[in-house]
Structure 1
C-alpha cells in the first residue's frame, strides 16, 4: 500500500524563508498542491507530519503562529497528523507502527526541509524497510554555512542532499512522475 507522507509544511517555514532570501524551490507550493490532489484523487492515505519545536524562539513552537499548517497542506477530516519534536518523523511518534498496521510498504515523501526533517525521515524509512520515493521538486533547502565560513547556496544545498539520498535511501523523482505513480496505484 502506498502512503503519502508530507513533512513539516508549516507557516514558520515561509517566515524563515523571508529572513534568508528564500529557499531553493520557487515551485514548492504548486508542486505540493498537485501532490495532495493526486493522493486524494487516488484514495491514498495521507499521514501529515508536523514539527512542534522545543527550541525557545523557534517559529515552529506549538504556541507560535508559524506552527500551523500552510493552506495547501491543511489536513482534511480523517487524515491523521503525526506530531514530532525531532527531525525524524519516526522518533517518539508511533509512525512506524501505524504504517505497519495500515499495511504500508511504499512511502511517497515530500515537504520541508530537504537537509533536515525530510532527509532524516527518508533515511530512517529506508532503514526500516519501507520502499521510499522522495519527490525532489516538492522539497526545498535553505542556504548553509560550512565550518570554514563558506556559504552554500540553497539550490546547491538542495541538489547535494537529493543526490545523497537517491538510490541509497530513496528513489528521487519529480512531481509529474509522482502524480503518475499515485494515479497508477503505486
Structure 2
C-alpha cells in the first residue's frame, strides 16, 4: 500500500516560544527520523503549514518550519487555514496524484489539527497510521500535553465507523511501503 507522510504544523511560531509543546525537541527528532525513513523508501514527505493573520502569517518567521527539521527541496508543502488539512487545500488532489493509498501522520496539535486531519483522512478512505510519539501539543488547564497525546492515540485508534483502520504506533515501529 503506497504511503505518504504528513507532518502537520511543526512551525517556529508554535515550537519556539515558551512554554514549548510537550517534548518539543524529542518530537522534532522523531519527525526527522520519520522523514529520513520515508525518503529512504521513496515515500513522499508532505509538510502542512498553518497560515493565519497573526504569528503564522504566510512567509513570516513564525510560519517557517521549526529550524531543527531536516527539510529537502524534494519534499512537498501544503498550506491550510483550518484544523482540517484537507479543507480548502490541494492535499486531497496531491495525494490522489501521488497514488497514495494510506497515510502516516505526525505533528502539532494533537487535539486539533492532528485529530481533525486523521478523522478526515479516514472519512476519505485512507487507512491512517499515527506516529504515536511524534505528535504533540501544549499543556492546557484541563490536561497536560502528554495526557492529551495519550488520549488522542487511544481515541483515534478506537474509531472504526469510518471503515479504514486508524492505528497509533511509536515512530520506531512505523513501516513505510
The alignment's TM-score, normalised by the length of structure 1, stands at: 0.84
Q: Whole-Å Cα distance in 2 between the matches of residues 107 and 118 of structure 1?
A: 12
Q: Tell whether 2:76 aligns with 1:85.
A: no
CA distance in 2 between counterparts of 1:170 and 1:38 reads: 21
Q: Is the 8 A contact 2:132 2:169 kept in 1?
A: yes
Alignment-derived partner of residue 127 in structure 1: 123
Matches within 5 A, 1:53-72: 53-54=52-53, 58-72=54-68
**Cα distance in 1 for residues equivalent to 2:68 and 2:45:** 14
For 2:100, what is the secondary structure of its paired residue? coil
Consecutive unaligned residues in structure 2, runs of 5 or more: 160-164
- Equivalent residue runs for 1:133-172 within 5 Å: 133-145=129-141, 151-168=142-159, 170-172=166-168
Matches within 5 A, 1:31-70: 31-54=30-53, 58-70=54-66
CA distance 1:71–1:15, change in 2 (3 Å): closer
Distance in 1 (CA, whole Å) between partners of 2:81 and 2:7 is 16
2:10 paired with 1:12: no
After superposition, what is the alpha-carbon deviation per residue over 1:121-141, rounded to whole angstroms, capped at 9, x for unaligned? 111000100011010100012
Matched pairs, number: 170
C-alpha distance in 2, partners of 1:121/1:63? 23
Please state how far the C-alpha of 1:70 moved relative to its aligned partner: 1.5
Over residues 9-47 of structure 1, what are the superposed CA-to-partner deviations in whole Å (9 max), with x where a residue is unaligned?
Answer: 11111234x1x3x32225211111111110111111112
Answer whether contact 1:49 1:82 (CA < 8 A) is retained: yes
Larger radius of gyration: 1
Contact 1:75 1:81 in 2 (8 A): no
Moved over 4 A (4+): none
Q: CA RMSD, aligned part only?
A: 1.7
Q: Name the TM-score, length of structure 2 as normaliser.
A: 0.88
SS at match of 2:16: helix
Gaps of 5+ in 1: 146-150
1:68 is displaced (CA, Å) by 0.5
CA distance in 2, matches of 1:47, 1:75: 10
